[in-house]
Structure 1
Amino acid sequence: MGSLKNAIIAILVPLPSIVFYLCFLNSSPFPLPSNLHQWCTDRPLLLANILFFLNVNLLFWLIGLLLSNHWMIDLYWTVIPVMLAHYYEAHPKAEPSGLRSRVSVLLTWAWSLRLTHSYFRREKWEWGAREDWRFSDMRRRHGKQWWWISFFAVYLSQQVFLMGICLPMYAIHSSNKPWDTWDFIATITCITGIIVAYFADTQLYNFVQRNESLKEQGAPILLNLDKGLWGYSRHPNYVGEQLWWWGLFMFAWNVGYGWMFWGPLVNSMCLAYVTLLVEQKMLKKEYRAEAYRQYQKTTSVWIPWFRFSIGGSKQKKG
């Protein structure tokens, strides 16, 4: 019942932005007043940020307070980039290139479907089953102050990250420069990132499922995932995710928007911090702490590479 309620909330919650944008379209049967329409037309980036602030920061935050669970932002991380891609493509100020625009939108859909599938698979196909463990930790740490701190920590910060890394979508649909070699390289980078992230998430999911099965049987669990992609990098899922966002930025750089590098850069810095949190969490689990320390000594943290022995020489994969 709770999952159904959360599903209904999640489906209804973006409607304010969707309805507003439908009224903004020139073909709308319920058009905006001409002055407001012109103001929105002249400010595509500002309008996107205003809608994010009102619909996500404020509305999601209020719903999260009522539910005592800020789970929705995780789900909408997989959806908002798709909405932004179509918004920037269809905006009256857009100058889409044709092939570059179509390819970037298709890639964004592929990325979103991969991440959405991973999210629901991890949550056992339930809506809002649990809150991100980092938010739960902050909730316990801040206690009664969490209700207002959550607005900044969970939502306002997400606007900076998400709107920043999605800026290349604006650039892509603001240039009619012909497709060239750099667009092809950007496409291959994005596809590689999606594939790497998918297989890394799948291997992690299978590892977790295997341990749950072993627990039910009363058998010893596997302490570390160090096979497949995880034998070359301790966080291959983050590697794939970064490849996707840096590949998207390459499209923007190629059409003259190199200043947008700060979006994927901030995201990479955020993932570096999240990496520290994840590894600290692993080391706090006494039953696997020593095994994880050995894993840290023999396996690259991010960039995939061959294993090293504790003495520093390369090891062959077994």
Structure 2
Amino acid sequence: MNPTAFGIETGYPQMADQPRWGRRNILNLCLLLWVPIPALACSLILFNWFPEGEIPIDPGWRWPQNFNQAAALLLHHPILTVNLLFFLFVDIQFMVIALIQKSTWLIDPYWTLLPPLIALFFFLHPLADPQGFRAAASLFLLSLWSLRLTSNYFRREQGRFGFREDWRYAKMRKERRFFSFEQFFVVYVAQHGMLVGLSLPFWAIAFFAPPLGFGDAICLITASAGLLIAGLADNQLDAFMRENKRRIAAGRPKQWLLESGLWRSSRHPNYFGEQLFWWSIAGLGVVCGEAWVIVGTTYNSIILAAVTVMTERRMMAVPERTEAFRAYRARTSVWIPWWNRSRQA
């Protein structure tokens, strides 16, 4: 799901044993670069199907009788088009690759790349007419979000591709006999709703352009704050993990919990930063007069709440960490950074 979550190894040798320029790694890198090309090509063909300024009127929800009617229908209904492209080139294409490789790894790096690609589809659409500053600022913040999570992915994978998949899916693959078929819905359809849903505010920003106002300022400031919080939390967690590697290499016992920095005030400050960012982006959709776009953010929040429970159960399952984590959970807020109750004792 989200690349900030840790992966576990799924039948592959240890990561350190995998050559960065081995055949498997090069193949997976080529896959990573290839998979968006068909959707990008289809988008370019659609955007240039009609001469500039000559797009026909919306043909309505009738079955198209020819290519021109189909192109007009898709151009006048960009959300439909995005969902169709996602279904063909993510749900189905990624599913076929997962069946061949027996791993859903490819969705992890694309979690960070698909929202910017969807936003660009909306902003570059020939019928789009966004307010310039709102569009530029929101796309800039989205690019920072993508850069942060993409760098996290490459930092975690150490320049290797496809040797690990999200621990939740690896666990399901091990425990469920028919997961190879279930994964279409559990992995791809579920994340279809999350990724397209999160990107809906960019449709509102691209196609509706009310004047800038106080609401824009609030949303852009809080989105920036969310990115800052999530980035700090990620870096603190990475430093903690690196220190544990050094401790193990030196023959010293590892630390089981991170309780400093933002992690002293929240058990999942990175999740809080993510939610603050995306709800702020959803706020821009509301500012543009399309409040219904918060449905995608709401769905994402519900899923992340479930993921939080799964993650904490996994933390508690390690005997050496159980009691310490139980005490940490009792005194520390789950998402929102708040006063640690040990300070009040």
Output the TM-score relative to the length of structure 1.
Answer: 0.94
Q: Deviations over 1:87-134 (max 9, x none)?
A: 001112312111111111111111100110111112223222310000
The whole-number CA distance in structure 2 between the counterparts of 1:299 and 1:122 is 26
Q: 2:218 aligns with which of 159, 163, 185?
A: 185
Correspondence 1:14 to 2:36: yes
Check conservation: 2:173, 2:179, Cα contact below 8 A: yes
Task: Please report how far the alpha carbon of residue 210 of structure 1 lies from its aligned counterpart in structure 2 after TM superposition.
Answer: 1.0
Q: Deviations over 1:199-239 (max 9, x none)?
A: 11111111111111111111011110000000000000100
Correspondence 1:60 to 2:94: yes
Q: Deviations over 1:35-75 (max 9, x none)?
A: 33212212111010000000000000110111111011111
Check conservation: 2:115, 2:198, Cα contact below 8 A: no
Correspondence 1:218 to 2:240: no
Check conservation: 1:22, 1:28, Cα contact below 8 A: no
Structure-to-structure mapping, 1:249-268, within 5 angstroms: 249-268=282-301
Check conservation: 2:91, 2:188, Cα contact below 8 A: yes
Q: 1:3 aligns with which of 11, 25, 32?
A: 25
Q: Deviations over 1:181-209 (max 9, x none)?
A: 11111111111111111111111111111
Match in the other structure for 2:5? none
Q: Deviations over 1:120-149 (max 9, x none)?
A: 112223222310000001111212x01110
Check conservation: 1:85, 1:105, Cα contact below 8 A: yes
Match in the other structure for 2:172? 138
C-alpha RMSD of the superposition: 1.6
The whole-number CA distance in structure 2 between the counterparts of 1:28 and 1:207 is 55
Task: Please report how far the alpha carbon of residue 33 of structure 1 lies from its aligned counterpart in structure 2 after TM superposition.
Answer: 4.4
Match in the other structure for 1:70? 104
Q: 1:101 aligns with which of 111, 115, 135?
A: 135
Letter in 2 for 1:314: Q
Check conservation: 2:49, 2:71, Cα contact below 8 A: no
Check conservation: 2:268, 2:334, Cα contact below 8 A: yes
The whole-number CA distance in structure 1 between the counterparts of 2:318 and 2:203 is 44
The gaps in structure 2 that reach 5 residues or longer are 1-21, 52-65
Secondary structure in structure 2 of the residue aligned to 1:131: strand
Correspondence 1:113 to 2:135: no
Match in the other structure for 1:128? 162
Letter in 1 for 2:165: E
Output the TM-score relative to the length of structure 2.
Answer: 0.87
Check conservation: 1:71, 1:128, Cα contact below 8 A: yes
Check conservation: 2:225, 2:273, Cα contact below 8 A: yes
Identical positions, percent: 39
Letter in 2 for 1:174: F
Q: 1:271 aligns with which of 300, 304, 309?
A: 304
Structure-to-structure mapping, 1:152-231, within 5 angstroms: 152-231=185-264
The gaps in structure 1 that reach 5 residues or longer are none
Correspondence 1:314 to 2:344: yes
Letter in 1 for 2:119: A
Secondary structure in structure 2 of the residue aligned to 1:96: coil
Letter in 1 for 2:300: N
Q: 2:333 aligns with which of 292, 297, 300?
A: 300
Structure-to-structure mapping, 1:234-245, within 5 angstroms: 234-245=267-278
Q: 2:68 aligns with which of 11, 29, 34?
A: 34
Which ranges of 4 or more aligned residues in structure 1 deviate by more than 3 Å? none
The whole-number CA distance in structure 2 between the counterparts of 1:26 and 1:9 is 27
The whole-number CA distance in structure 1 between the counterparts of 2:140 and 2:258 is 32
Q: Which has the higher contact order (CA 8 A, sep 6+)?
A: 2
